[in-house]
Amino acid sequence: MSGVHRDLAAALLAVDRDHHPVNVGLAAQLACLLEVSAPKPGNVSPGRHFADVRYEDFLASALAIGEPMAAAGEHGVGLTARQAVEATARWSRSNTNLGIVLLFAPLARAASLPGSDSETLDDSRSLTLQDRVRVVLESTTVDDARQAYAAIRMARPGGLDRAEAQDVSTEPTMTLVEVMRLAAHRDTIASEYATGFDVTFGTAVPALERARRDGLPWDDAVVETFLTILAAVPDTHIARRSCASLATDISTRARAVLAAGGVRSDNGRRALDDMDRALRDDRNSGNPGTTADLTAAAIFVVLLGQGWVPRSAKGDT
């Protein structure tokens, strides 16, 4: 991360540390900034733009969602997602963060519930954040689905096929978690709703925490987390926009990069650069966008647990 981004991150976390709802919004903003600022293969990052969207569009979008996420404890998951997409649309004409917003909304609500402060979340006798997320998801309503559908239509994600039941172009008659279960087999964001965020908490967060404990700076830790997720879960954004076989091939390549050392070795970094070049084309057909969204969710979770400074650096065991 550049000195400018490091200073911005420190400034964000220094603002109103004791006001928990604001901290949720700040953590959401910082998570997005850290995610987009890391040079993940096939994605937008500093100096690596797409034809229709630039790095600065993601910066503006990151800041735009702070207020809706800070208020997530006061609203349903669907309304939070809709308000975040509406706020983003005032700053970007492209879909920069729909997947992130859909993942962050239940996380932000769970973290904003009474008793969800970071000290309580660290207490093994209390509900974990994932436990609280599951409660939030099971409590979603048909109106949550209606609001989320409106957010999806507004963001206009590419490659979205028409569903046989509960299509986003129609009025839903099921709760948000129920309609997500219908789509879980073809979309990892939906699968996270269906499984209680199993990839986020089971794969992504442990990878990020391990990288930070090992002393990796945020940009390297984010890239390693991204590769770890991609190696384990083929990207459904690629499968939707291109084909499932390409998504599988790219996951295989991510495993090869990690086997070569990834960000931890010169050979791994060369393999990472080669992978980035291979994933870029005029259509962005190899863009692992869903993996980037899951990476952002992991960062958000770690920041909510006071993970800006790794535990080893704070003297914890």
- With H, G, I as helix, E, B as strand and everything else as coil, classify residue 316: coil
Per-residue pLDDT of 17-55, as tens digits, reads: 444 444 899 999 999 999 999 999 999 999 999 988 999
pTM of the predicted protein model: 0.89
- Please give the Cα distance from 99 to 281 (Å, whole number): 22
- Our CA angle for 49, 55, 61, nearest 5°, is 140
Amino acid at 120: T
In a domain, 272, yes or no: yes
At 282 the pLDDT is 86
At 51 the pLDDT is 85
Domain that holds residue 247: 3-308
In a domain, 313, yes or no: no
- Alpha-carbon Rg for the chain, nearest whole angstrom, is 18
Is the Cβ–Cβ distance between 21 and 67 less than 8 Å? no
In a domain, 11, yes or no: yes
State both tokens at 83.
Answer: 């308000």
Residues 6+ apart with CB under 8 A from 106: 77, 133, 136, 137, 193, 197
DSSP calls for 65-122: THHHHHTGGGS-HHHHHHHHHHHHHTT-SS--SHHHHHHHHHHHHHHHSTT-SHHHHT
The CATH number covering residue 196 comes to 1.10.4200.10
Q: Which residues of the chain have pLDDT under 50?
A: 11-22, 120-125, 315-317
At 287 the pLDDT is 95
At 204 the pLDDT is 98
Is the Cβ–Cβ distance between 120 and 132 less than 8 Å? no
At 120 the pLDDT is 47
In the chain, how many domains are there? 1
In a domain, 141, yes or no: yes
At 156 the pLDDT is 81
At 163 the pLDDT is 75
Q: How many angstroms separate the most distant Cα atoms in the chain?
A: 53
In a domain, 30, yes or no: yes
In a domain, 314, yes or no: no
At 6 the pLDDT is 53
